[in-house]
Amino acid sequence: MRDPMNIVTHSYEFMHHRRISRVLVAAVIAFAIGWIGLCSDKINIDIEENADTTTTSNKISDKINIEKSTSETAKNNLLFQLPLCKPLNLTAVQEGIICLPKCDPSVADEGSLHPNEKINLTVQTNRDKYPGEYGKYRIHFPEEEIYLHVDGREYKKGGEAMHPRSVTERLFRRVIAKLFRAGVLDPTKNIINTGSWIGDNALPWAMMLEQLTTKPGKVIAVDPSPMYVNNMVNTAHLNLIGNVCTHVTVYSAKTGIVFTSTTEHMGVNLGLKRGEKQINMITLDSENITNLALLHIDVEGHESELLTGAMDLIKTSRPVIVTEGVSGLTDSNDKKVAEILRSLDYVHESSEIPEICGWNKSCRNHIWWPDQDMKDSAMKVIGNDLSRSEIVPWVSSELL
């Protein structure tokens, strides 16, 4: 087991927050090769760890750089160990949804960790810089009111990138949490999180549902990257989460196979090695999911195709649907999404979340309500959040 105080430098470049894996899917299916979504966030993580404060910086246009430094270990804190569970090793040809059994570890991972050890991270776009201090192994998600353990000793697992997500798109997180706590959304029903990346939404939601009811719904986390899904599975096991399901796939308007390009760029996007790889493409209706409370769609321009393949599910479950798009839904793809959902009698007016949801400052999360009655009930709970006069930044360490 690597000593966390040894100096180690890693560099990873991958798309996240609406997870490049989905940008790839949009590129392959919607526009062939080369399309990059308005709301995608390209991440470059340069990490240098030392007992002394150290930082690295590499400003690149349209990338996010995380400058990282460690604070002194809290000497007098009680130590804890991470549970050790057998990995599932999911692949790109995973057949069907797999619901994870709650990890029942027979042993604990080696080493003892300090629960209050901190890490300083700066999320930086080409326009803005968001410094923050986070728990290194125990991340507080303030809106979901949960603590998520991550194995911060092995950065290749992606735990490092999870830290700033706890306060990224924080107003969106607050809105969803309020709706479940108020009972507007039923915590015993299921959530589908498409474009789940490493589980930065799926895992806090799953833990929150477990807190709200003894019979929590499942959170179905879907992503085309087996690397990211396996990463999420590992983190779910570390936190003994028992209501997460996964599927390595692409939801679209029809069933088929998506072949990735042999270019390095597209291989990195999917978390795959160079060379031609295949990913199953299916309709959401073919999953036969029922009792759905929330459908969260984050697929970077592939929304209309996904919705076309989910018409039966939407008609039967009538979930609240959240999509990403530009402010005012003026993009051509946003107009297709609006046309589909309005044809199903969904209501959206005054339901744009006033918060930047990516490096593009026009990016917004949009809530679609199955009927006016639910919207009216929801506005009693989140009306003040949606009527804010100022736009909330993408990362918010403090949010009143």
| Domain CATH number, residue 23 | 3.40.50.150
Residue 218 located in a structural domain: yes
- Range in 73-82, 124-133, 263-272, 286-295 the model is least confident about: 263-272
| Cα separation, 227 vs 162, whole angstroms | 15
Query: Mind listing the pLDDT tens digit for each residue in 25-69?
Result: 444 344 333 333 444 443 333 333 333 333 332 222 223 333 433
The reported pTM is 0.78
Provide the number of structural domains found in the chain: 1
| Cα separation, 29 vs 116, whole angstroms | 45
Residue 208 located in a structural domain: yes
Amino acid at 24: L
CB atoms within 10 A of CB 158: 26
Residue 151 located in a structural domain: yes
Residue 397 located in a structural domain: no
Q: Are 158 and 198 in contact (CB under 8 A)?
A: yes
State the residue range of the domain holding 23: 9-386
| SS3 (DSSP) at 280 | strand
pLDDT at 388: 96
Q: Are 125 and 102 in contact (CB under 8 A)?
A: no
| Cα separation, 283 vs 286, whole angstroms | 5
Residue 302 located in a structural domain: yes
| SS3 (DSSP) at 243 | coil
Q: Is the pLDDT of residue 351 over 90?
A: yes
Q: Is the pLDDT of residue 274 over 50?
A: no
Which long-range contacts does 200-205 make (Cβ < 8 Å, 24+ apart)?
200/162, 200/165, 200/168, 201/173, 201/296, 202/232, 202/244, 203/148, 203/232, 203/235, 203/236, 203/239, 203/241, 203/244, 204/141, 204/144, 204/146, 204/148, 204/166, 204/173, 205/144, 205/176
Amino acid at 178: K
Residue 382 located in a structural domain: yes
Query: Mind listing the pLDDT tens digit for each residue in 131-160?
Result: 889 988 889 999 999 999 887 654 444 444
